[in-house]
Structure 1
Amino acid sequence: MSKRPDKLSEDDRVLWNLVARTAKPLKGRAAVDIPDIAADTKPTSPQAAQPAANAPGAAKPKAQHVTHRLDEPTLDKLAKGRLPIEGRVDLHGMTQDEAYSLLFSFLHRAHAGGVRYVLVITGKGSSSGGDGVLRRAVPAWLSTPAFRPLVSSHDHAARNHGGSGALYIRLRRVRS
């Protein structure tokens, strides 16, 4: 049996705080105040950066980089299981801020670990006929400067991996 380390890494601490905030205290017990450590370490969300860019006197933003789509042979191999999906993250039921933080830390860890292909499950959205918020937001996030060093390309997943409610993401190779 291996000995557990006593300290959590910064990524684990951010993830734990996201999970701990969703927990409800037992009946008759007071809620514990959880410090907002994630706010210090999480990158700004695209919505938070928008007002500063539109401020008078601000430099014009550069043309937004559009992430490439996966090529057909790669999509086919991923769909048929001939190319391994080395990681997956499920963003169901999260707010945009929670999903952004989790997605960024997940992709950062996967990229650092040399992972090439991951599956991100966004869900298809509400049953009231509208598109899901995360289903629309995640592809837009992947084209932002924060994700550009990590993500090479992305595309909708095959039906057996979640269809339009999931994305295949190819991460960039780690530079030596």
Structure 2
Amino acid sequence: MARRRTLRPEEEDLWQSVARTAQPLHPQKSPSLDQLRSPLPTESSQKAEQPEPIRTFRVGERAQTVLGHDLSPSISDSMTRAPLRMDAKAFAQMSRGKLSPEARIDLHGMTLAEAHPELIRFVLNAQSQGLRLVLVITGKGKRMEDSGPIPQRVGVLKHSVPQWLRLPPLAPAILQVAEAHLKHGGSGAYYVYLRRSR
């Protein structure tokens, strides 16, 4: 990148003579030489926007946090957007609670380390027995105070079970997963529609 230098007096005279003979392409938009040489406006001449004053904070006072922020769609939303892979008539009956599950597992009170192998065992055994619709009860989770800047999910099992059902070794055995009807547990349970065992 070339360094800029100031013009010597003879170069300045030459530049002025050339500039007087030049015709501007856009006369109304081209600034004059005086405008180009004018100093930059100072801070006092500019109208600076005053920032909003910061509210005083006392030691021991709680910070105000925005509640209800969620960065990803809810489990219900992601399940309703999932493509339908089972018979539409059977799915409609299942969603309205008209089909009763042939087996159920309740994961209430289990840790993630306990619940994951239990779920795998339950689903694979149900498929090997020729069952088609099973119910997985996770519970809705306890709502706790969310005082941190990062949103906290309610119900660890409620959010982990659908992910486990999409991963091996369970994914090949499952045709559809949907939130249960109210009479079977509502948002605290999932219908798992299994593929036929081969």
TM-score normalised by L of structure 1: 0.56
Structure 1 segment 14-33 matched on structure 2, within 5 A? none
- Indicate the SS of the match to 2:104: strand
Query: Residues 135 and 170 (structure 1 numbering): CA distance in 2 closer, same or farther, change over 3 Å?
Result: same
1:19 paired residue number? none
Q: Counterpart in 2 of 1:84?
A: 100
Unaligned 5+ residue runs, structure 1?
Answer: 1-65
* 1:140 alignment partner in structure 2: 163
Contact 2:140 2:187 in 1 (8 A): yes
Give the length in aligned residue pairs: 110
The alpha carbon displacement at 1:149 in A equals: 2.1
Partner of 2:139: 123
Contact 2:140–2:188, Cα closer than 8 Å, also in 1: yes
Residue 121 of structure 2: aligned partner: 105
Partner residue in 2 for 1:94: 110
1:116 counterpart letter in structure 2:
R
Change (3 A) 1:162 1:69: farther
Partner of 1:164: 187
- Structure showing greater radius of gyration is 2
- Report how far residue 136 of structure 1 moved: 0.3
- Cα-to-partner distance string for 1:86-127 (whole Å, 9 max, x where unaligned): 000000010001110110000111000000000000000113
For structure 2, which runs of at least 5 residues remain unmatched after alignment?
A: 1-81, 146-152
Provide Cα deviations, 1:46-87, integer angstroms capped at 9, x if missing partner.
Answer: xxxxxxxxxxxxxxxxxxxx8857666334322555423100
Report the counterpart of residue 149 of structure 1 in structure 2: 172
Secondary structure in structure 2 of the residue aligned to 1:114: coil
Q: Distance in 1 between matches of 2:84 and 2:168?
A: 14
Name the SS for the 1:137 alignment partner.
Answer: helix
Q: Evaluate the alpha carbon distance shift between residue 70 and residue 168 of structure 1 in structure 2; reply closer, same or farther with a 3 A threshold.
A: farther
SS of 1:149's equivalent in the other structure is helix
* Sequence identity percentage: 44
Give the ranges of 4+ consecutive aligned residues of structure 1 lying more than 6 Å apart after TM superposition: none
